[in-house]
Every structure is written in structure tokens, then in C-alpha cells.
Amino acid sequence: MSKYVITIARGYGSGGRTIGKMLAEELSIPFYDRDLLRLASDDSGINQDLFAKADEKIKKSRLFNIASNIYKGELIPPDSDDFVSNDNLFNYQAKIIKELANTESCVIIGRCADFVLKDYENVVKVFVHAPLEDCINTLKEMTGKAEKEIEKQIATIDKHRAGYYKYYTGRDWEDAKNYDLCLNSSRLGFQKCVEIVKSYMDIRFR
């Protein structure tokens, strides 16, 4: 297949982002994470700061935890009062994700990209996870923070990721049925995770 996209959802501290960067480097393809906010800002004309602030608003919104607005692909026009709403900011990120999938091979981290691209044949959907204790140890080495603080941070961030995913997809973030591969980075190590994804792609797209 000439163009393909690897989407990576990941638990906090599992190393999913690092694995994504390693994949992008070994395959010599672009890597997208928060870069998507800049691209969506450029495309929509909406200030990039609003995209970043939308994430923070969603984290703090109690309504977000009980409501849903499953992404259907529509964009809200500029003359609407809801043009800069959180939902439309997500819609523009999704628009960029689709355009990338249509034009180049790349790795995309988070942003419900697996759901946005659910109808695309050229997508490999990966979920990276690890036991809590290993995530704590990884983050402790990186940040030097206390274990209790890290454990609380992991719970908060993973809850947000699960809620964000549920809100825009109607699906459970940790459900294996959403993905082609679910990888325990603690058992495998980062490099073997990379090798497994590449082997899967070789078999599937050969």
C-alpha cells in the first residue's frame, strides 16, 4: 500500500508516544501529536490557543463525563455562534487527520484518530498499555516526582483520555475491539513493540 497511517492510543506512562516516534523514525514518515492543533488552526483560521484551551475546558467539564457528541464528520460554518465551540475544534482536528490519511503516510498520536479513520483501509490502529506499577516507575525516572503524586496523575490523565474518547466516539477507550493491536510495552519493551507493528503491517499490506 502506497500510503498508510498508524494511530496510537496509549495509557499515560506506557511509552506509547515514544513508540510512535520510534516507528516514525524507522519508517521515515512524519509524526503528529500536538502538531495537529497548529494544522487545524491554520486550516480553520481559529487561534491555536483556543484549541489548547479546549482540551483544558473538556478536562474540567462535568457535562463532558455524562454527555456525548459522536463525531460524524460535519464542520460548523464560520457564521455560526458555535464556530469556535469545543466540538467544532475537534471537527477541524478530525478534518486534518483525514487529509493526512489521504495524502501521506504518518503516525498520529491520540485525538481519537482510530475512530476518525474507522472507514479507511490504510490504517493500523494500536493501543499501548502497561501495568500501573511500571507506568509509575517510568514516570518517576522521568520526573522525579513522588509515587503517590504520579499515581494520582496517571489516574487523572487516563480518566480524561477515556472520557474524551467516549464523548467523541461513543466507544470505550480500552476496548480491544477498537484496535488492530494492543501491546503491553512493559512485557515487550519499546523496540519489540515497534517490530510487532512493522511485522503486522508487512503481513497485512504485503
Q: Is residue 164 part of a domain?
A: yes
Q: Is residue 11 part of a domain?
A: yes
CATH number at residue 140: 3.40.50.300
d(CA 27, CA 24): 5
Q: What is the pLDDT of residue 136?
A: 96
Asked if 164 and 112 count as a contact pair (C-beta separation under 8 A), the reply is yes
Q: What is the pLDDT of residue 37?
A: 86
Q: What is the pLDDT of residue 79?
A: 86
Q: Is residue 85 part of a domain?
A: yes
Q: Is residue 206 part of a domain?
A: no
Predicted confidence (pLDDT) per residue in 70-118, tens digit: 888 889 888 888 888 888 899 999 999 999 999 999 999 999 999 999 9
Single pTM value for the model: 0.91
Mean pLDDT of 24-53: 89
Q: Is residue 119 part of a domain?
A: yes
The parent domain of residue 182 ranges over 7-201
Q: Is residue 55 part of a domain?
A: yes
Task: Give me the number of domains the chain comprises.
Answer: 1
Q: What is the pLDDT of residue 42?
A: 92
pLDDT at 145 over 70: yes
Q: Is residue 1 part of a domain?
A: no
Residue 56 corresponds to which cell in the numbers above? 483544558
Mean pLDDT of 29-55: 86
SS (H, E, C) the chain: CCCCEEEEEECCCCCHHHHHHHHHHHHCCCEECCHHHHHHHHHHCCCHHHHHHHHHHHHHCCHHHCCCCCCCCCCCCCCCCCCCCHHHHHHHHHHHHHHHHHHCCEEEECCCHHHHCCCCCCEEEEEEECCHHHHHHHHHHHHCCCHHHHHHHHHHHHHHHHHHHHHHHCCCCCCHHHCCEEEEHHHHCHHHHHHHHHHHHHHHHC
| Percent of the chain scoring above 70 in pLDDT | 93
Q: Is residue 2 part of a domain?
A: no
Predicted confidence (pLDDT) per residue in 11-20, tens digit: 999 999 999 9
Mean pLDDT of 109-136: 96
